Structure formats: C-alpha cells, structure tokens
Amino acid sequence: MNGTQYQRMANRTRQPYPSKLEELVFAALELTAEAGEVANLVYKAAFQQHPIDLEHLKEEIGDALWGMAVLCDAGGFTLDDVMEANIAKLRKRYPNGWTREASLARVDHSAPAQPPAEMSACECVPAPAVPAPEPVQVVVSLDGVRLAQLLIPWANLDR
C-alpha cells in the first residue's frame, strides 16, 4: 500500500465538514491529539518505567497517520506528495546522511520564501462565504479529560 491508497481509504471514515477551514482545524487537532498519545506512551516508558506495548504504540501511530492523511486531503495534496517533499528536504539538508556536523552546519538554512505581495500566506484556505454568527468552539480532551476549550471568532479564521 502506498500513501495515496492509504489516504483514499482513511478518508472514507471521516465525517464531512461544512468548510475547508473546519476540515483543516479538525485534522490538525486530531493529528496533534494522536501524536500526543504516542508521546505519552514513550514518556511513560522513559520516565515512569512502564513497559512499552508495541501493538498499542503501532495502533496510536496509525491513528496519527489517519489524522495526517485527513490533513493532507484537506490541504489538497497526497501523503505521497508530502513524503516526496520531505525526502527532498532531507536530501538537501543531509546530502551524505545525518551526522552531528551536518546537523550543526545545515545547508538548508536560508531565509524562508516570502509569498508574493498580492498573495496571502494562507490563500489556500478559503474564507467562509458567510461568516458564522457564533465563534467556532474547539474542545481538546485526552482520555475524557477536557484540557482546553477555545472559542475562535470567525473574523480570525479568514486569514
């Protein structure tokens, strides 16, 4: 299975959202939450001497991959696109493979490209046609415990 095939199958199991922006927010938070679960398993092994259940770790990595696939789809590109771009970046950064020296003297430390003046940095995310009257509510929880609740006014989401 390649990334595009996985992405196609994963996207069959997600709920639809009324806007591209809400889809991006959901996918980014889902990816973050699942990556946090992966980190928590490793954290408990490293600092609390818990055994690592490799099957559970694989399951959580899969959940994070699902979030990444949905995020890629919301962004309009494939997992294969992301994988290829990442390897190209790493080849540029570490042309002979990773070494401490190469890490300290990275060849890709140039100024980030600036978008043309007539294009916003987030032009790929269309603003809602009609702003919602109420702010978007985002609740972040882990294992049923509410960690954060955000109310984001639509005015802040169209940029």
Comparing 76 with 135, the larger pLDDT belongs to 76
CATH architecture of 3-107: Orthogonal Bundle (1.10)
> Which neighbouring-strand residues pair with 146?
141
Task: Give domain limits for the chain.
Answer: 3-107
pTM of the model: 0.64
pLDDT grade for 128, boundaries at 50, 70 and 90: very low
Question: Apex CA 137: angle with CA 131 and CA 140, to 5°?
Answer: 145
Task: Quote the tokens at residue 9.
Answer: 């199958």
